[in-house]
Structure 1
């Protein structure tokens, strides 16, 4: 038996027991930070409405599938759910969070009320498995158990897990797949079985498309670096050899991607059509100066901006010093370390690695594996440094500490403490061989310093830094948060028909309808429907997000078009009510607050009809207020057999005067604000019985530096000392960060609303610059609107208008659409059915977001389903009585299944071919 075989078969049970024990102790200490403070591990912002909600939903989803198979004896997989937003595809919406991740399958065994415990368990399970995967990679390269144990703990208890994986549990998933993929690459180069590579890539593909993209890039980089490590002979580095290996990896990669096709294809293609993906974000040539000033210290200290969450325990940097102190060895590790640091220092790298979207270093877990493996690889060298190498290490320590703490901004308590640990770690290495000589003592000291570094990072993250724990939901209350008073009030109506509800300032938790089984106008997930985003853009809906919206801004016409039957407000806040909601239908109490659901007799059902149409090209020429009026008069289609109509409009643009407040000037489409909370008053004579809109087109924001906020007159009056003070403050002002976003509060004799402006420098930017803020419906005419600006800066606009939309025609127009409607509407698994009777040919609009996944059958015959009114679906129906059936299948799911079957077939063929070749290699006896 050769040496390599002996090493691979050596028992490592003791290692995994010790690793599990060490992980358990550190994990317990980490968990206690939450438990002793009465907190759950669920981040309040995204964790409750997205992560926990999705996990609980997925458990119910899996149980329903099993029930249909084993109890009802039918195979039905729900693919579409009306309770998610306006109606959404289940796979494409929830893949980013749960569907595809093998670990979330455990939710099938856990009831919704116990999901919080599963959620916490899965966070630590992912981190534990990441350490196991890293260990397997290290052991393959014949590293010692001591080194691997220390390296594993460096890898899994860095800032990425302590901070990021607690907020977003699936952020730990790529840490599991990366070591396995790299291990697979090593095996292929050494002509071993390629199965580890194929299945780890395939699992990464079905687990999360976002991190799969990053893994793909680093997989290629690693394969390129590793090639020159494995093949040292010049004859093996020819173009022909490189081409051969490219073909080998391409073949295995194709098989892996094909295997993942069942999820990867349906999920990726819709993402390309979203505004957030297509938006052109600002990518600076360099980061802000303070980023570079704090960069070195943040590697082992506090968190960097742009998701540069490093926080590696200090002894890992000692390993880097030793690496570079050794000449002519581990060249690939040195090159990799330098390359990844360049990636962290150049914003364009963060742009590319984030899918050519906003600048983000969410790939830093790769850096974590590299720095952990550097320590593993260099660990034996700690025991045999000569005097020259120790001098180099000492010089590097001095240079690093001096450079890291040179800037005043970097000298925070956390960074200073990290430097102290680094000095201690390096000192232990330098003193070995003189002050103490036993290897066991050095090992214990390094282990102790590692533990101290990890506990130090945990302590600062949860006890000292930014009150981080306050961002997490209280223990035992997260699931209860999803049971919102808004939904309870709607359910109190006991209305079993198909409808939606809307609300203003009454939604305690996004996506609550998904949990409660109601239909709302709110949505908050990372992937959203492109047609909904397009409609919201046309309507200038007052939200800067494409994937996060809470209501239709109380706009009566939009509520009618969306089949909104109930409008929910908190008790006594009736000023939020739009036009047409008069009857109290349901109410509920939640956390001491009363929620009331008011109904409208004029509400449109899920399917209503038009007797005429508006060509799309004519519709696009209209103003935003004309468009919403047009949608009540004719259905908007590319073409139609219905008669064409010319809509009539009664909105009026109202002239206004501007009364400027202190710290605010207006000139040539630019509002210059030099003071926080500066006000601007718009005075006008509005219309009675109207909704009054503030419309801003081309609205954008650019921050003003402290120097720019001072007028030339004031600057000249300042003393030289005061000018220098201001210039010093100006030099530390961060343009990129300060110009990311701003808000304008719209107030007056009506409930306040906020226009949020995201610039191309902000990570949630989706290209929105046109906003319509509905100041509400009133019988009396409005006279003024007050704008309050959140922060100093230049607020620019192409047009600023006040428009009044009278309500007098809306009732009559709604009644016309409501004459012949879809009845007996029933929602089944992937199916919507109903009946309709028409006195003439009409266009039936179904207020469900358009998707290529729907197929329509009228009287049993497939009928063309058209995209109508930008967002919805429509059928053109002849006169008479009709039965309607809509069936849904996730778009590209069938091609995805075909790809997976093809991948499975290729994989089987590969296995048989390899078995046959191996048999030929066995010598005959």
Structure 2
């Protein structure tokens, strides 16, 4: 080992420890939890499993095949990959996935958690070291309090957020340099990295930075304004540098359902005692919750004591205390005020992950606490007497919390918090009595703080739980073989009849329809709902297909597994390992010419069978595809109907939840291909029986369900269990229909005659030929997006959205070559801004270097 390396280790030993100690701790947790490669478990819980992992798989395939980063056909019938990449995948650290096989992806992402959390500890320790001015154990303790706080542990599965938390301490240190040295380069570059990696969480950081600057301790009014111009200029420059990501991301997110403004009407969520109780030792980290008042706030009991000490000591100016306190109080109020929370979340509902901006409050509290700690260790023993004020303040806050909390407090967390305060108080008392020297005292309380934080992290990850990779990915190899054999191009779409995780078809990089993600287009979600597919706020799944929609969406293959019980209209092809492939009996295409009458298509009816009938008639001039089957009123148990519109819609009230609250019975009078569709927000579980045997169960509402070829005399029973909650009332709509097979054959023939013939498909470019019988509309089963450029015989034509959802163009009579090219909206403009931004940044850096050289020469 060279002397230089020894000097670095000696000079920065605690800073390095702030990284390596969390790594050892978290890897120890990984071993204990049997995380791969130490077992078959993974940290990828909640949406990390259902969304992020499949997106990483698509990204990995693009990296390895050098495919276009603009577009992907592996989800949602096609989606703006760059927009999704900007939201989920943009971190440079994620490029490591290009170096490993797909089978190692879950393992690599689990250990990326470890790396990113440890780096959060490291950057926080770096900030505290700069504030303290020396390398000592306290930076390890407070750094770990940030990186291992309950927010980081509970929300760690949001792996795409972690770079923003990682950059925050560097950004704040950059503001220090900007104000004190008039050098904003670090601030600008750190904010650029944050914006690049995740624009959504960085938006919250930017709001916080404005407050941080306004409440900063400026020398005078002139400095406030001159530094304010620097602050604004460097902030805009960082945004310009990241524009190549920000513009496509913004334009993409504005097409989602979440882009609609819906300000909350409530004034408060609950009591402030409910919030403060989340500071207590032993509180379970929150991974997700439908209640927006829930929060992760724990960041150490010593943090609370040192924050109280900061407010008490005379060595800190009153105006500085007021500034810091104002910031914390405003953030604390934001947690409990729906309107402020809505603004903090980008004018967006919190959707199961409440108070995502709490990391800003936690770091601000830790920064204040660390300032208090620095005064403690720099001052004389009598200064530490103010710690008793902090203890009293904590005691008062605990008492108020217990009095005002409207949620049941776990008394063990109260006892644990009081016990921790008592332990720290004993240390302070021994220091006051001169039994402990200052170095022993500071080392001891920092060691106890590290132990406290580490113990909470261990408990937190145990509470989070893990997933067993064997149970989720056992069919990957077989489905990969299926894909190699059958998925020839983007026109060959295939889907899992049901997925173990919501985006499983994306994990297998099938050219599918399923998409569950925050960048799903709102208009497409709405249209898929109208067509009878299962949808959510930001998802549409391949659940609810009919022969018509399968043909329309170019769905050629379905993949079944042994546990799948759903019926299929497809014909058996072959079995590969544990999976079975079924093939669409009709010839299909990615696009079709349609009659101009399709522009009058009524797609807003709540009955999806009517919606499909009207599309088939207006687009292809065929008779009624689905014939409605009359259904009788349901049998009721602990439930009563208060209103009946006579068309399958029932308003009800229930008194309890039973498996048979509502039971619909359909008796078949002839042999038919039967479909049903029902929608009920209060339906918790459904069981469908055929002649007394259960054929389907689970979440079956809000989608068309194929019941197979029902024989004359067959009896279908649909049993619905209603929720037992605060509502105890709602609406259920149930409709049944039979498919007219003769009309379906005629429709399939018309579609085949009108099919666009794909000749080339490479990345973001498609081309093919069409023979239009007359001037018609060419419909593509691709979501409408302004990023598409369509050319007919080499001439650019105007694109239009059918039903606000699907890409269409006008095509004249005759045979034509039609080509499509996709470039994400905003990319070109963003790239220009980024180049200009980087040029300016490089010039600024050169200026500072020249200035530094000139200063050295003068010396």
Q: TM-score range by the shorter chain?
A: 0.7 to 0.9
Residue 47 of structure 1 aligns with which residue?
48
SS of 2:432's partner is coil
* Partner of residue 747 from structure 1, selected from 688, 706, 719: 688
- The verdict on how the C-alpha distance between 1:221 and 1:507 changes in structure 2, with shifts beyond 3 A counting, is same
Once the two structures are superposed, residues 671-692 of structure 1 have per-residue CA deviations (whole angstroms, 9 ceiling, x without a partner) of 2222122511234566752433
Counterpart check, 1:364 vs 2:358 = yes
SS at match of 1:95: helix
The aligned counterpart of 2:639 is: 664
- Are 1:568 and 1:597, in contact at CA under 8 Å, matched by a contact in 2? yes
**Aligned pair 1:272/2:254, yes or no?**
yes
Stretch moving more, 511-520 or 681-690: 681-690
Between stretches 909-918 and 353-362, larger displacement belongs to: 909-918
Q: Helix, strand or coil: the match of 1:568?
A: strand
Match of 1:389 in 2: 386
Matches within 5 A, 1:732-811: 743-745=684-686, 747-749=688-690, 751-752=695-696, 771-774=702-705, 776-780=707-711, 784-792=717-725, 794=727, 800-808=733-741, 809-811=743-745
Offset at residue 885 of structure 1 (A): 2.0
Tell me how far 1:818 sits from its aligned partner. 0.9
Q: TM-score, normalised by structure 1?
A: 0.80
**Distance change >3 Å, CA 276–CA 487, structure 1 → 2:** farther
**Cα–Cα, structure 1 residues 919 and 503, in superposed 2: closer, same or farther, change >3 Å?**
closer
Contact 1:673 1:792 in 2 (8 A): no
Q: Name 1:609's counterpart in structure 2.
A: 593
Tell me which stretches of 4 or more aligned residues in structure 1 moved more than 6 Å.
Answer: 494-497, 915-925
Distance apart, 1:335 and its partner CA:
3.2
Structure 1 residues 191, 139: CA separation in 2 closer, same or farther (over 3 Å shift)?
A: same
Which residue matches 2:186? 196
Q: Residue 308 of structure 2 corresponds to which residue in structure 1?
A: 321
Alignment match, 1:128: 118
Q: Residues 152, 323 of structure 1: CA spacing in aligned structure 2 closer, same or farther, 3 A cutoff?
A: same
Q: Which moved more, 1:293-302 or 1:889-898?
A: 293-302
Q: Residues of 2 paired with 1:618 and 1:497: CA distance?
A: 29
Written as runs of structure 1 = structure 2, the 5 A alignment for 1:515-664 is 515-543=507-535, 545-571=536-562, 576-579=566-569, 581=570, 583-590=571-578, 595-616=579-600, 624-635=608-619, 651-652=627-628, 654=630, 656-661=632-637, 663-664=638-639
Q: State how far apart, in whole Å, the 1-side matches of 2:23 and 2:734 are.
A: 61
State the Cα deviation string for residues 682-725 of structure 1 (Å, max 9, x = none).
345667524333444xx555xxxxxxxxxxxxxxxxxxxxxxxx
Q: 1:398 deviation in Å?
A: 3.1
Aligned partners of 2:545 and 2:665: how far apart in 1? 23
Q: Distance in 1 between matches of 2:603 and 2:613?
A: 11
Q: Deviations over 1:163-189 (max 9, x none)?
A: 321x22233222211112112222222
1:900 Cα deviation (Å)? Answer: 1.0
Residues 760-788 of structure 1: CA distance to partner in whole angstroms, max 9, x if unpaired? xxxxxxxxxxx454353434466653322
Secondary structure at the counterpart of residue 651 of structure 1? strand
* C-alpha distance in structure 2 between counterparts of 1:555 and 1:163, whole Å: 41
C-alpha distance in structure 1 between counterparts of 2:370 and 2:661, whole Å? 60
Residues 1:261 and 2:243 aligned together: yes
Partner of 2:205, secondary structure, is helix
- 2:635–2:662 contact (8 Å) kept in structure 1: yes
Residue in 1 that maps onto 2:39: 38
Deviation for aligned residue 1:891: 1.6
Are the counterparts in 2 of residues 521 and 552 from structure 1 also a CA contact under 8 Å? no
Question: Residues of 1 paired with 2:49 and 2:126: CA distance?
Answer: 34
Residue 68 of structure 1 corresponds to: none
Q: Which runs of 5+ in 1 are unaligned?
A: 1-8, 66-75, 637-644, 702-741, 758-770
Other-structure match for 1:312: 299
Greater mean alpha carbon deviation, residues 399-408 or residues 913-922: 913-922
Q: Which residue of 2 aligns with 1:483?
A: 476
Structure 1 position 195, deviation (Å): 0.7
Q: Deviation at 1:563?
A: 1.3
Summarize deviations over 1:321-360 as a string: whole Å, max 9, x none. Answer: 3123224534133333333332334343332211222242
Change (3 A) 1:152 1:784: closer
Deviation per CA, 1:398-448: give whole Å up to 9, x if none. 324444556692234345324322321233223322162411221232133
Alignment of 1:152-191 (within 5 A): 152-165=143-156, 167-191=157-181
Q: Is the 8 A contact 2:687 2:719 kept in 1?
A: yes
Over 3 Å counting, the alpha-carbon distance change for 1:823 and 1:346 in structure 2 is closer
Distance 1:798 1:885, change over 3 A: same
Aligned pair in 2 of structure 1 residues 39, 503: CA closer, same or farther (>3 Å)? closer
Distance 2:433 2:310 in 1: 21
Tell me what 1:5 maps to: none
The number of residue pairs the alignment matches comes to: 817
CA distance in 2, matches of 1:647, 1:180: 66
Give yes or no for contact 2:14–2:139 (8 Å, CA) kept in 1.
no
- Matches of 2:209 and 2:376 in 1, distance apart? 30
C-alpha distance in 1, partners of 2:502/2:726?
A: 31
Are 1:818 and 2:752 matched, yes or no?
yes
Q: Does structure 2 conserve the Cα–Cα contact (< 8 Å) formed by 1:484 and 1:509? A: no
Alpha-carbon separation, structure 1, partners of 2:429 and 2:84: 54
Which is worse superposed, 123-132 or 839-848?
839-848
Q: Which residue pairs with 2:832 in the alignment? A: 898
RMSD over equivalenced CA pairs, Å: 3.5
SS at match of 1:47: helix
Find the residue that maps to 1:848 and give its secondary structure.
Answer: strand
Q: Deviations for 1:221-253, whole angstroms, at most 9, x for unmatched residues? A: 100111xx122xxxx337xx6554443322222
Displacement after TM superposition at 1:514 (Å): 3.5
Q: Which residue does 1:73 correspond to in 2?
A: none
Deviations along 1:551-585, one digit per CA (max 9) or x if unpaired, are: 141333222211112233345966x2344x2x211
Shift of 1:814: 1.9
CA contact 1:692–1:775 (8 Å) conserved in 2: yes
Q: How much has 1:373 moved relative to structure 2? A: 2.0
The alpha-carbon distance between structure 1 residues 284 and 424, as it changes in their structure 2 partners (threshold 3 A), is farther
CA contact (8 A) 1:826 1:833 kept: yes
**Offset from partner CA, 1:157-215 (integer Å, 9 cap, x none):** 211222321x2223322221111211222222224311111111111111101111111
State whether residues 556 and 588 of structure 2, in contact with CA within 8 Å, keep that contact through their aligned partners in structure 1. Answer: yes
Aligned-partner Cα distance in 2 for 1:294–1:629: 53
| Separation of aligned partners in 2, 1:917 and 1:429 | 48
Task: Tell me the residue number matched to 2:468.
Answer: 473
Whole-Å Cα distance in 2 between the matches of residues 208 and 59 of structure 1?
19
Q: 1:190 is paired with a residue of what secondary structure?
A: helix
CA shift for structure 1 position 841: 4.0
TM-score normalized by the length of structure 2 = 0.86
Which residue of the partner structure matches residue 4 of structure 2?
Answer: none
